[in-house]
Amino acid sequence: MQQVLTLCAAPGALAADTLVTAARLLAEADARTGDPRWLAREEAADIPFDADRPVDALARVRAGLETVPVDVNGAPSEGRRKRLLIADMDSTIILGESLDELAEFAGIREQIAAITARAMRGELDFEGALRERVGMLKGLPASTIDTVIDGLQLTPGATELVATMKAAGAYCALVSGGFKPMTGAIRQRVGFDEDRSNILHVADGALTGTVGEPILGRDAKLATLKELCAKHGLGLDAAIAVGDGANDLAMLEVAGMGVAFRAKPAVRDAAGFRIEHSDLRGLLYLQGYTETDIVSPG
C-alpha cells in the first residue's frame, strides 16, 4: 500500500469501531485498504490504503468522522520517519503563551493576551504586535522572568516526542517567536538540541520595553528550517514542523510533515496535518512509531 491513514485520539478514546468506520469511508472513496494496525491500543492506529486521489479519500474520512474526537491524517507510506524536528514553543511545547504570563505580573494580562490571540490568528503583523506587547511591559522587574519560567507547564507528550526522535537519530530544534530565557529553560527541560528565539532588553534590573532586532518571526522560522536541513544534509521532506499560530504557517507548509497542533482555525485549515485530540505523542504516531518505541525520559 502506498498511503497510510493514521487515527489518533486521547488515551483510551479510540474505539475499534472507529477504525471500521474509517476503513468503510476509504472504500466509499474508491480506496483499497489493508488491515488496520494498532500503534497504541485505543489511542492510535494505521490503516494502509491505495487511492487514485488520496487527498480526496482523506477528506472523505475527515468529513465522516468530524463528530468523533479523533485526529485523521494521511501520508505516503515511505519516508514517514523524519530526521529533523522544528517546534514552536508557546501553546505547542508549553501550555499557554509565555508573554501573557509575564503580562500577568504587570497586571495587564487581558490586554496583552488579546493582542497575542489576534497575532496568532494572523490578524496582526507578528513583528509589530510583538513590539507593542513588549513595550507595554516596560519597567517590569527582570526577576519576573525567572518566576514565569518556574511556572511554565509542558504540553503532555513533549518530552516523549523529543526523546524518541533523538533516540532514532533525529535533530530537534525549538524555534520560537518568544524569548531566550524561556526557550533556553524549555530546551533543557525537554532535551532539544538547540533553541532560537528573541531577546528581551533589560537595563537596571527591569525590562526596557524593547526587543532585539531582527525579530524572529514567520520568515525566520522558515529560514531556520531550511538552514538546518542544509546543515544536516536533509531534504525538506525529511523534516517535521509543529506549531499553532500564523507565524508558524510558512514552515508548516514546506516541511515534509507540517503539523498544526491545537492550532488557530486558519492555520489548522492550511496545514497538511492536524492534531486536535491527541497530545504531542501524536506526532510520533504520524511517523509510524508505536507505543513500545516511545522513550519516556527519567
Residue 242 has a pLDDT of 98
Return per-residue pLDDT of the chain as tens, 298 residues: 699 999 999 999 999 999 999 999 999 999 999 999 999 999 999 999 999 999 999 999 999 999 999 999 999 999 999 999 999 999 999 999 999 999 999 899 999 999 998 988 889 888 999 999 999 999 999 999 999 999 999 999 999 999 999 999 999 999 999 999 999 999 999 999 999 999 999 999 999 999 999 999 999 999 999 999 999 999 999 999 999 999 999 999 999 999 999 998 989 999 999 999 999 999 999 999 999 999 988 6
Residue 269 has a pLDDT of 92
Residue 193 has a pLDDT of 98
Domains and CATH numbers, the chain: 1-78 (3.30.70.260), 81-298 (3.40.50.1000)
**Cβ neighbours of residue 226 closer than 8 Å, sequence gap 6 or more:** 236, 254
Residue reference for cell 514567520? 218
**Which is it for the CA torsion 137, 132, 174, 262, positive or negative?**
positive
Other Cβ atoms within 10 Å of 214 Cβ, number: 10
Residue 18 has a pLDDT of 98
User: In the structure grid, which three cell numbers stand for residue 65, read together?
Assistant: 468522522
Report residue 269: phi and psi, to 5°. -70, -30
Give CA–CA dist 260/80, Å, rounded: 17
Residue 297 has a pLDDT of 82
β pairing state of 37-40 and 44-50: antiparallel
Give CA–CA dist 37/39, Å, rounded: 6
Closest listed residue to residue 202, CA positions, set 214, 212, 213: 212
Residue 288 has a pLDDT of 98
Residue 154 has a pLDDT of 98
Closest listed residue to residue 155, CA positions, set 244, 224, 218, 233: 244
**Cβ neighbours of residue 192 closer than 8 Å, sequence gap 6 or more:** 87, 162, 172, 173, 174, 186
Burial zone of 12 (CB within 10 Å; 0-12 exposed, 13-18 middle, 19+ buried): exposed
The residues carrying an active-site annotation are 88, 90
User: In the structure grid, which three cell numbers stand for residue 194, read together?
Assistant: 538547540
User: In the structure grid, which three cell numbers stand for residue 205, read together?
Assistant: 534590573
Question: Is residue 145 within 8 Å of residue 181, measured between CB atoms?
Answer: yes
Rounded to 5 degrees, what angle do the CA atoms 41, 93, 189 make?
100
